Amino acid sequence: MINAMMIDKKDNVIVAIEKIESGDRIKCKYGDEIFEFDAVNDIQIYHKIALKNIKKGEAIVKYGEHIGLAKEDIKKGQHVHVHNVEDHRENL
């Protein structure tokens, strides 16, 4: 069953569409691609999940846009929120 959604192909985070507990299987579909991996920790509904390993300082991408920078290394399947993302304004 699908329990997360990907908004844009460029995203490195996906969004939980139901509560996910540590160790649960995350399943997300984008087009014809299906991504499956285990949750590293509990994730509240509508919160972000790392789709891949993200290095400290790397941009967090949601909606195809940079929404912040990783404060620390974030593992694939880990909850992504204010505790491990810092605000970052870009000059456009």
pLDDT at 90: 64
Domain boundaries, the chain: 4-86
> Rounded distance, CA 5 to CA 13, Å?
9
Full pLDDT tens readout for the chain, 92 residues: 999 999 999 999 999 999 999 999 999 999 999 999 999 999 999 999 999 999 999 999 999 999 999 999 999 999 999 999 998 766 55
> In Å, what is the CA distance from 27 to each residue of 17, 18, 78?
10, 11, 14
pLDDT at 41: 96
Give Dmax over CA atoms of the chain in angstroms. Answer: 40
pLDDT at 88: 77
- For 79, residues 6+ apart whose C-beta sits below 8 A from its C-beta are 39, 40, 41, 42, 43, 44, 47, 48, 49
> Rounded distance, CA 19 to CA 5, Å?
13
CATH topology of domain 4-86: 2.30.130
pTM of the entire predicted model: 0.92
